[in-house]
Amino acid sequence: MATEGLRDLEQDAWRGFLLAHDRLWRALEAGLAPLNVSMAEYSVLSLLYEAGPDGMRMSDLARRRLMSTGGFTRLADRLQNRGLIERRRSAADGRGFEATLTADGRTLIRRARRQHHNDLRELFFARLDDDHLRCLAEIWDLLAPADESGPAGEREGRKAR
């Protein structure tokens, strides 16, 4: 039976998660700041980089970013205005839109990925051994199973983004 308050262990685990997330997010943002890239922009550019030259449907990008259509459109507008992405009508159905990286977008995301991955190694991975990482991977699978996190297979073969 659930009680109103959290046990000390539950409270410690939850607060620790929130504190670690906040500190890591801020540090990762700071690492990307000299490149004039936010974490949200990095995420979209990285998804497009991984998608290759065909790019991705805008609706898929918004869903993968867990953003509303309107919020994602504003983010995509900023990226397009900076010359980092191009948008075009879908060749498949002519209704939706697809986004691809421009040459400038590819250049920027390559630099940003190097910085981001170095920061992840320093701030996160260097502090954990493989047993810790396996434990975290199992926890994330319990909290966000693949069938609840987006397209099938999206979480398979995890890559540092």
Domain assignment present for 153: no
When pLDDT is cut at 50, 70 and 90, the band that residue 144 belongs to is confident
CATH of residue 35: 1.10.10.10
Our separate counts of H helices and E strands in the chain read 6, 3
pTM listed for this prediction? 0.82
Structural domains of the chain, count? 1
Question: Which range among 4-13, 68-77, 89-98 has the greatest average pLDDT?
Answer: 4-13
Give the chain's end-to-end CA distance (angstroms, integer): 39
Residue 85 lies in a domain: yes
Residue 127 lies in a domain: yes
* Domain with 91 in it: 31-139
117 in any annotated domain: yes
Sign for the pseudo-dihedral over CA of 40, 46, 48, 50 = negative
